[in-house]
A and B are shown apart, each in its own frame.
Chain A
Amino acid sequence: MELEKLLYSTYGFSSFRPGQREVIEEVLKGNNVIALLPTGMGKSMCYQLPAHLLPGSVLIVSPLLSLMQDQVAQLKKMGEKSVVAINSFLKPEDKEKIWSTLGNYRFIFISPEMLVQPFVKKQLQRISISLLVADEAHCISQWGFDFRPDYLRIAEIMPLLNYPQVLALTATATSKVTNEIKKYLNISNPFIYTHPMDRKNLVYDVKRFEDQKEKIGWLKKFVDHCEGPGIVYAGTRKKAEQLALDLTNSGLSASFYHGGMDHQDRIFVQQQFQNGELDWVCSTNAFGMGVHIPNIRHVIHFQLPTSVEGYVQEVGRAGRDGKAALATLLYAEGDEGLLESLVMDELPTVREIREVYANRTEPERLVEQGIVRETALRVIAYWQSRLPLEGTLLQIEELQKEKIKQAEKIRKLVTIDGCIRQYISECFDQHLLDKPENCCVNDGIDYSVFKKRVKKAVKVVPASWKDRLDALLPS
């Protein structure tokens, strides 16, 4: 009961969510832990609470800058003050201050590329680290859908830090990926906590169409009838913008979101969605992280996602409040074509690999000149330091095959006659123990649990700048 008391006194929660207690107990016993917890299950609590009991700092390696910023913001929101984020955007004067007091921080967030800088390594060696957390640990797997080469560098620092205790966290991992996490983080006999992938309150639907026009027609009608909030995932930025425009034009409160937008605009869309000022967001897969909305009722995939892992992560953003939520996958004849190009887009091309190998000294120039994409360069650079040209070409070919396999799994998802829930669990090497009544399109869906849209009273829009100011700062 001690842990519950601490949970309440520190964060004001009266009970743990599934999996948290099991993981925390193992961490406190001093074991290495790999925890597979679905998105939205409070993964970060697994290191937050131990941080209050462990003597040294907790070092959290976070693969994405935006994710790191969000986690820091969330911790601060929960009242944690002893938090620092180390990334390449730090200013020199701030860095100095941080280094001199580094050991005093309870939570130290760091990006993989900072982790391996000689100076940073030295600083980390100086302090006492009780726990190393590898967040989004599936990024370590080159077979995974979200491989980040820099992430493998965590392995480089382990010996320097005297092999600290490790907690690897991820929301999606097949057993293949789990094995890779073990291997690269050099953790033997970890305690592995696997929470069932399956979320009982998610209902899986698939809709097939003749062509794109029919698809968009259905979407407009659907969102007009259904109560949000919801996310519509599109394959490209352009498509996301276009869908948002289509929905706005039919009188719905919708907006788009993608990585190419102005940073402030992205925050605005997130906040509008969070505050219920916006019912629908049409977006690329960039949307989701840092969105903490419990009551998302619909996730619609307008185009096929590129992997089952990605799909599960995206639909997992719906229904975090535990109430029924609908995941609808739209498919039209010919969508495979786009899927193929999206899948291949994620990998470096043969031409890019050759260019980088031919210009060993200044590969960044190739990015500037638009010859090689930045994402491609990151992957090539990693292999370049380990393999000759032929080896890398082979490696990428292998990856390509793997990606195609992943894409095939998605294709299968839209064509199978059997239970989709069961199929998804199998993709993660899990056995489905029991099915909910409202399960999937192939087992029959009871749509009546999803509310019809209630036309809201039109919000009064301020007419002048003074009115707007009054709304912001009411007298």
Chain B
Amino acid sequence: MLFDELLIAIMKAVNRERTISSPFHLIKGKKSGQTIQDIGYYGLYPYFAVMPRLEKRFYDQVVEGLFARGLLQKNEDVIDLTDLALTSQTPKTQLDGWKYRGNEQLFLNRLSLIVQTFSHISQKVNVFDPVVNTEEIQLWVKAYLRKSNFRDRAATAAFKTQLMDSLEEAPVTERHKMILMQRLSGLGSSGLTWEQIAASHGMTPLDVQLFTVETLHAWMQIIEQNRYPLLSMLMEGVIQQSALTESAQRTEKLFARGFALHQIAELRQLKTSTIEDHFVELAMNDPYFDYSSFLSEELYQAIVAVSRKQQTKRLRDIKEKVPEASYFQIRLALAIR
């Protein structure tokens, strides 16, 4: 998936209902209430946090390009796609951002240092500058290598075989896999910068970055099946056990102990609106979420009915038709599965 295809895919889902900067927050993985809720409302799970370090100026450039190519039309408030964009095909993607949450970077950092070490040691070079200089990763990789008897040439061969076989299975293009390999370093072959990789494929740096994430997500799906034990180990701590943000998890615990919304806000010294965001997040993730203390069954039905009939998830539009509901109640109702 190319970067502008990613934007169009997200924009299609939220067309005329969200602002032009909302896809940016989603791609960056912003953990705000709005972004997290939208993932549930609009089914944007694959795209969350796929590029945590995306810079606004680059995003803006691509958006400008969409206007220039007649895919977006001027609208002061919201994203407004043209028919050209709306009828375009959304390519299938291997992205699974909601699951990996940007942690593919952890996997890649470990992999980079392991490959670099094997590359040098197997060619009898014992001293080199590590390509990853975070202490945490270095210690992890050291422990990993010690377990695998890494000075033995057979260890390198075994690792390489599992890497090759598992990546082969990943359902992405050969180009995807090449781009990922270009990010790895070894003796005499340093990793390439995004600019260099982009130039070698006639793509943009953003495109090759997205390709890399897509490859990693696809590959990690294969590795998770545990048929490649030498790589499965690299997944340690990559997948978060809970789908919730950490802060929402804390709110969940207090709620389970019987605290009310305003009490939780007080205890945690957070704004009520923040805690409300957490409840919306809980509702989104937990099919058994008990909303009765926030929302009557009738009100819930009323909100859902309006949303369905008007084909909208814009809070303002719903509020007009169901004025007795608070914005929080509307958000909650829309999040409930």
Chain A proximity mask over B127-142: 1 for CB below 8 Å, otherwise 0: 1011101011000000
Contact A274 B181 (CB under 8 A): no
By secondary structure, the B interface counts as helix
Given A69-B133, A255-B196, A264-B191, A271 contacting B181 (CB threshold 8 A): no
A465 adjacent to B174 (CB under 8 Å) = yes
Name the A residues within 8 Å of B177 (CB-CB): 465
Interface status of A429 (Cβ within 8 A of chain B): no
Which residues of A have CB within 8 Å of B115?
Answer: 472-473
Tell me whether A474 and B178 are in contact in the complex, defined as CB-CB below 8 angstroms, given that A268-B185, A268-B191 are known contacts. no
Closest residue of A by beta carbon distance from B178 = A465
CB distance from B136 to the nearest CB of A (A): 7
Residues in A with CB closer than 8 Å to B64 are: none
By a CB distance below 8 angstroms, the chain B residues around A14 are none
Out of A271, A464, A473, which one reaches B191, CB within 8 Å?
A: A271
Q: Are B174 and A271 in contact (CB under 8 A)?
A: no
List chain A residues, Cβ under 8 A from B310.
none
Does B133 lie within 8 Å of A473, measured CB to CB?
A: no
Q: Which residues of the partner chain A approach B186 to less than 8 Å between Cβ atoms? A: 471-473
What is the 8 Å Cβ interface bit string for chain B, positions 143-155, against chain A (1 contact, 0 not)? 0000000000000
**Is B20 an interface residue when CB atoms closer than 8 A count as contact?**
no
Residue of A nearest to B112 (CB): A264
| Minimum CB distance partner of B185 in chain A | A271
Q: What chain B residues lie within 8 Å of A277 (beta carbons)? A: 188-190
With A73-B133, A267-B131, A268-B192 in contact, is A475–B178 under 8 Å at CB?
no
In the bound complex, do residue A255 and residue B181 qualify as a contact, i.e. CB atoms below 8 Å apart?
no
* B164 in contact with A466 (CB, 8 Å): yes
Given A77-B129, A472-B119, are A272 and B180 neighbors across the interface (CB < 8 Å)? no
Tell me the residues in window 323-348 of chain A with beta carbons closer than 8 Å to chain B beta carbons.
Answer: none
Q: Tell me if B34 counts as interface (CB < 8 A to partner A).
A: no
Q: How far is the CA of A264 from the CA of B111 in the complex (A)?
A: 14
Q: Is A91 an interface residue (CB 8 A)?
A: yes
Please give 17 more A-B residue pairs, beta carbons under 8 A apart, in addition to A77-B129, A268-B185, A472-B181: A85-B135, A91-B136, A261-B193, A265-B193, A271-B129, A271-B131, A274-B129, A277-B189, A277-B190, A464-B178, A468-B182, A469-B181, A471-B189, A472-B119, A472-B184, A474-B123, A475-B160
* Shortest CB distance B134–A (Å): 9
What's the Cα separation between A265 and B174 when bound, in Å? Answer: 23
Contact between chains at B190 and A272 (CB < 8 Å): yes
Q: Check B156–A473 contact: CB distance below 8 A.
A: yes
Q: List 18 A-B contacts (CB under 8 A).
A: A69-B133, A73-B129, A255-B195, A255-B196, A262-B194, A265-B194, A271-B191, A277-B190, A465-B174, A465-B180, A465-B181, A468-B178, A468-B181, A471-B189, A473-B122, A473-B156, A473-B159, A473-B160
Of chain B, the residue at the smallest CB distance from A256 is B195
Contacts of A267 in B (CB 8 A): 131, 133, 191
> Residue of A at shortest CB range from B159?
A473
A292 to B194 CA separation, bound complex (whole angstroms): 24
- Which of B136, B163, B181, B199 has most chain A Cβ within 10 Å? B181
A368 CB within 8 Å of chain B: no
**Do residues A262 and B53 form an inter-chain contact, with CB atoms below 8 A?**
yes
* Shortest beta-carbon distance from A79 to chain B in Å: 9
A275 interface contact, C-beta 8 A: yes
A269-B193, A275-B188, A277-B190 given as contacts; is B129 within 8 A of A469 (CB)? no
Q: How large is the interface on A (under 10, 10 to 19, 20 to 34, 35 or more residues)?
A: 20 to 34
B165 to chain A, nearest CB (A): 11
- The 9 residue pairs across chains A and B that have the minimum distance between CB atoms: A472-B186, A465-B177, A468-B181, A265-B193, A465-B178, A271-B190, A272-B190, A465-B181, A268-B191
Check A417 for interface membership: any CB of B closer than 8 A: no
Q: A residues 268-284 with Cβ under 8 Å of B? A: 268-269, 271-272, 274-275, 277
> A85 CA to B160 CA in the complex, in Å?
34
Of chain A, the residue at the smallest CB distance from B184 is A472
Q: Which residue of B lies closest to A277 (CB)?
A: B190
The docked-state distance in angstroms from the alpha carbon of A475 to that of B178 is 19
Given the contacts A255-B196, A271-B185, A473-B118, A465 and B167 also touching, CB distance less than 8 Å: yes
On chain B, the residues within 8 Å of A475 by CB distance are 157, 160
Render A83-102 as a binary contact track against B, CB cut-off 8 A, 1 for contact: 00100000100100000000
A474 and B122 contact, CB distance less than 8 A: yes
- Tell which of A77, A468, A469 touches B160, judged by Cβ atoms closer than 8 Å: A469
Residue of A73, A268, A469, A474 near B190 (CB, 8 A) is A268
